Amino acid sequence: MDRALNYANIRPYAVPGALEELTGPAGGVVALPGWLDWSPRRSYDLSDPAALRMMYEQVIQEGREQDLKAYLNADLLVRIWPDLILPVRVRRLWESRFTGLRDRAA
């Protein structure tokens, strides 16, 4: 299959204009709406590192810009960035806009 025709290579992903725009919760239990997470388990305890990573991966890959701002927290994102499992293209989009994330992942 031609790489140019692969959906993963052309799919649009949202990236905020600035990390400071990410003012989502820094703790507690977060329930994502169905358009972000259509799995039966849509609640995430942010004190659980695995749940935190799973929620951030989901929001980053599926969210619109307003979702990123509502559900992601800049400080948490910077802290867990190296541990997130993201498609290469998503990681490149974010790291090209926010070089501090790239430096953190190195």
pLDDT recorded at residue 66: 98
Q: Coil, helix or strand for 38? A: coil
What is the model's pTM? 0.90
Structural domain range at position 36: 3-105
pLDDT recorded at residue 106: 65
Q: Coil, helix or strand for 4? A: helix
The full DSSP string for 47-87 is TSHHHHHHHHHHHHHH--HHHHHHH-BHHHHHHHGGG----
pLDDT recorded at residue 25: 98
β-strands 29-31, 43-45: how paired? Answer: antiparallel
Q: What is the mean pLDDT of each run of 10 residues along the chain (106 residues)?
A: 65 94 98 91 95 97 97 98 95 94 76
